[in-house]
Amino acid sequence: MSKTHILFICTGNTCRSPLAEILLKEKAGSQFDVQSAGIYAFPGSPASAGTTEVLEKRNLKADEHLSQALTLDLVDWADVVLTMTESHRQQLISQYPEHEIKTYSLTSFVEEVGDISDPFGGPVEVYEQTAQQLEYLLHKLIKKLT
């Protein structure tokens, strides 16, 4: 049986979506194939300093992460596309309406409410809050998909 392909989407692919990608890979091992991208990503940017710092506190690394822009190939690859906000979901659906059936905000997919706030430019404490919110949601995601 093939692994579920999960694609996380945020704005720039330097904070929330790489954080979700790396945390899920750590928590779920090789159960899923996971990638991330940004709706407005500038390709080749490293993870933000705050993202790197909160991952290092968990003995995880973002060294290999380079941002990538959302493409049709990535959306085609994914079995499920999980966005960080409802606005991201709406933007993705307007760009790729044929993929609406597999596109959700992460919170709604795990039956929670609200968006995952963008820590970009904030202090490390804000990144830590985002990481903790993602850890909670990813725990629910793993339970739902396994």
The residues annotated with a catalytic role in the active site are: 10, 16, 118
Token pair belonging to 139: 């725990």
Q: What is the rounded CA–CA span in Å between residue 122 and residue 125?
A: 8
Full DSSP string of 89-132:
HHHHHHH-GGGGGGEEEHHHHTT--S-----TTS-HHHHHHHHH
CB-based burial, 109-121: b 16+ in 10 Å, e otherwise = bbeeeebbebbbe
Task: Report angle CA 123, 114, 54 to the nearest 5 degrees.
Answer: 30
Tokens 């409802």 — which residue? Answer: 86
